[in-house]
Amino acid sequence: MSTTIDTIETMRRLFGFHKFRPNQAEIVNAILERRDVFAVMPTGGGKSLCFQLPAAILPGTCVVISPLISLMKDQLDAVRALGLSAEYLNSSQAAREQARVTGQLKAGACRLLYVAPERFAMQDFRAVLKRLTISFFAIDEAHCISDWGHDFRPDYLTLSEIMRDFPGTPVAAFTATATESVQSQIVHRLGLRSPLTVRASFNRPNLFYEVVQKTDEDRQVLNFVRSRPGQSGIIYRTTRRDVEEMAQFLSANEIPAVPYHAGLEPAERTRNQEAFIRDEAPVVVATIAFGMGIDKPNVRYVVHADLPKNLEGYYQETGRAGRDGDPAHCLLLYGFEDVPRLKFFISKIDKREPREIASRKLQQMIDFAAGDECRRRRILGYFGERYRASVCGACDTCQGTVEYVDWTERARIALASVTELEERFGVCHVVDVLIRADTARIRQLRHDDLECYGAGTDHGKKEWRNALNEMISQGVLEQSGGMYPVVRVTRKGRTVLEGRATFTARRPVRKVEAVVHTPASEPDNPLFEHLRDVRRRVAREEGVPPTTRQQVDLAVEWNLGQSFANERSR
């Protein structure tokens, strides 16, 4: 079935688009033909249109399964701004409001209904759905059904009952991240029937990838954000405490930043989220729960101040930058202290197979951060996609922003010290011994009598911490798990210690510069800033995010503003 004129006209009228992006037409046509679909599309690839457009055309209600209740309001606002009748049902609503929504459904006055998997799991709710005309089910963030994925949600498993309770109703499942093994498990668990399967390219050419060794994350993040005044950005931290402390630090240094994590009161969490979406707060510091489903096109950077658990999560989180197609920067700060904490979390996984999978994925993430090959090639290769260019030109390694230094002698000093300490101590104690620190613990253990005591006084404490970090990254040293990780010499490290191999460190040599921004997004032009303020005010009056209504192109605003300025100058 070819895309009809009516379908394209509906897309133009509702969404303001005159043509489909790659893969969209194929998916839309399959849904209109009532066929199951499984689509892996990168963040910013236009997957929302793939189910919103058929929902506008087909009779009945499209039920959208979305994982986070806290984000449904944003999704609803965006859909309503397009002129589609839409509702959501979740536990945050009062009984009276839920009754109103149910009445709308029964009256057939709702094209899209957003619900969480927990709602679908309720028998009473499914009984209501069975009395309605359901056009199709759209499952967003479908990787949540796979325990091989990075964000497994047990309640997603109930979605396998769609086929039993709603036979003949098509199901369209979407995700931005799925390896081929995860894809197979999703299709199997949902019971999709000979689905149209689409695997779009994972390449996001407008994203610049950079990995920097973590030294002082607060100061590093502050300097990075200060170099991008007025731009919207997301900073990810692992724990709620880290989120709160970094948001406070940035705010104290005149960077308007709001925190976001599950421990905040719902009203504060919603207020902070909306401030970021509406460009009232340029920076949000968040745990990884933030951003799933967020439709904010103009995020200009994503910073991971801690090492992510796996490449799927890292890819999805960085994918929240540059959804408008303009250049965006993805910075990862990598330090050895992140690894034991993540290994400790993994050690708490009860079942052996998921624990081993999580360990393997963490090692792949470490290899990415510590490696010296093209970042883009490594990411695409992880998802089974081959990157054919020799260099991407849009990551720190391909821009030649690192140099390689022979640290063999320094490595042998450190390895000998770890060996003499019988591989029973952590990085901090090893460094203290190397630099001849006079600590109570060293005196108590009589480590000031060891041959390695003071063997590294030619370098400072920070240099030795960085050196051991590099050695752990390259697998010359390894850290144990648990709350008090110790460092041990690996088989690879033995070859260096025994003089059978050398050790080369990877060092940054200059500040990485991403692709130059276009004039239409230049932040320091007074006219541009005035237009942005006007757009923000109009969006506030209409009750929608400033980038929602017809996905307004800033270039159009720029041209209109320039014309206005020229007219006034005559």
62 versus 153: which is more confidently predicted?
62
Structure-block tokens of residue 213: 């060794």
pLDDT tens-place string over residues 332-386: 999 877 888 888 888 888 888 888 888 888 888 988 888 778 899 999 998 888 8
Residue 519's pLDDT is 37
36, exposed or middle or buried, with CB in 10 Å at 0-12, 13-18, 19+?
buried
- Where in the chain are the domains? 5-199, 207-400, 405-508, 519-569
Q: Is 389 left (phi over 0), alpha (psi -120 to 50) or beta?
A: beta
| Separation of alpha carbons 430 and 480, rounded Å | 15
What confidence category does residue 540 fall into, taking pLDDT thresholds of 50, 70 and 90?
low
Mean pLDDT of 131-147: 90
- Bridge partner list, 522: none
Whole-number pLDDT of residue 403: 74
Question: Does 29 have pLDDT greater than 90?
Answer: yes
Angle at 191 between CA 131 and CA 145, to 5 degrees: 95
Residues whose CB falls within 8 Å of the CB of residue 143, separated by 6 or more in sequence, listed in order: 149, 150, 151, 175, 177, 178, 182, 186, 312
Which residue, 384, 364, 379, is CA-closest to 309?
364
Q: What is the crossing angle of helices 554-569 and 526-542, to 10°?
A: 120
Residue ranges of alpha helices (H) inside 319-386 are 338-347, 352-370, 375-382
Q: Residue with structure tokens 């140099």?
A: 403
- 493/425 Cα distance (integer angstroms): 17
The span from the CA of 307 to the CA of 329, in Å, is 17
pLDDT digits (tens, 9 = 90+) for 144-177: 888 766 666 778 888 989 999 999 999 999 998 8
Query: Of 288, 282, 210, whose CA–CA distance to 247 is shortest?
Result: 282
User: CA–CA separation, 144 vs 153, rounded Å?
Assistant: 5
405-508 folds as Arc Repressor Mutant, subunit A (1.10.10)
Structural tokens at position 174: 């979407």
* Selection from 312, 313, 321 nearest residue 283 by Cα: 321
HSE at residue 146, side-chain half, CA atoms within 13 A, is: 26
Measured CA to CA, the distance from residue 256 to residue 250 in angstroms comes to 7
pLDDT at 6: 83
Per the listing, tokens 């979407």 go with 174
Q: At what angle do helices 217-226 and 240-252 cross, to 10 degrees?
A: 50
Percent of the chain with pLDDT over 90: 46
489 strand-pairing partners: 477
Q: Would you say domain 5-199 falls under CATH 3.50.50.60? A: no
Map residue 196 onto helix, strand or coil: strand
Query: Which residues on adjacent β-strands are paired with residue 213?
Result: 334
* Concatenated DSSP letters of 249-314: HHHHTT--EEEE-TTS-HHHHHHHHHHHHTTSSSEEEE-TTTTTT---TTEEEEEESS--S-HHHH
Q: Do domains 5-199 and 207-400 have the same CATH topology?
A: yes
> What is the pLDDT at residue 325?
85
Residue-wise pLDDT tens digits, 413-430: 999 999 999 999 988 899
- Average pLDDT of the segment spanning 488-508: 91
Cα–Cα distance between 1 and 62 in angstroms, integer? 21
Task: Decide if pLDDT at 220 tops 50.
Answer: yes
Token representation of residue 417: 């010290």
Specify the pLDDT at position 509: 66
Output the pLDDT for position 273.
Answer: 86
- Helix or strand holding residue 333 (H, E): strand 328-334
**Token reading at 140:** 């967003």
Integer Cα distance of 132 and 493 in angstroms: 65
For the beta carbon of residue 369, count every other beta carbon within 10 angstroms. Answer: 25
Place domain 207-400 in its CATH homologous superfamily. P-loop containing nucleotide triphosphate hydrolases (3.40.50.300)
Asked whether the beta carbons of 218 and 249 are under 8 A apart, the reply is yes
Mean pLDDT of 269-294: 82
Do residues 147 and 186 touch, judged by C-beta distance below 8 A? no
Question: What average pLDDT does the chain have?
Answer: 85
Answer for the pair 302, 320: CB distance below 8 angstroms, yes or no. Answer: yes
Mean pLDDT of 40-44: 82
Nearest to 241 by CA among 215, 209, 224, 263: 263
Secondary structure of residue 377 in the 3-state scheme: helix
pLDDT > 70 in the chain, percent: 85
* pLDDT band at 1; cut points 50, 70, 90: very low
CA-atom Rg of the chain in angstroms? 26
Strand order of the sheet with strand 328-334?
207-213, 328-334, 299-304, 232-236, 283-286, 257-260
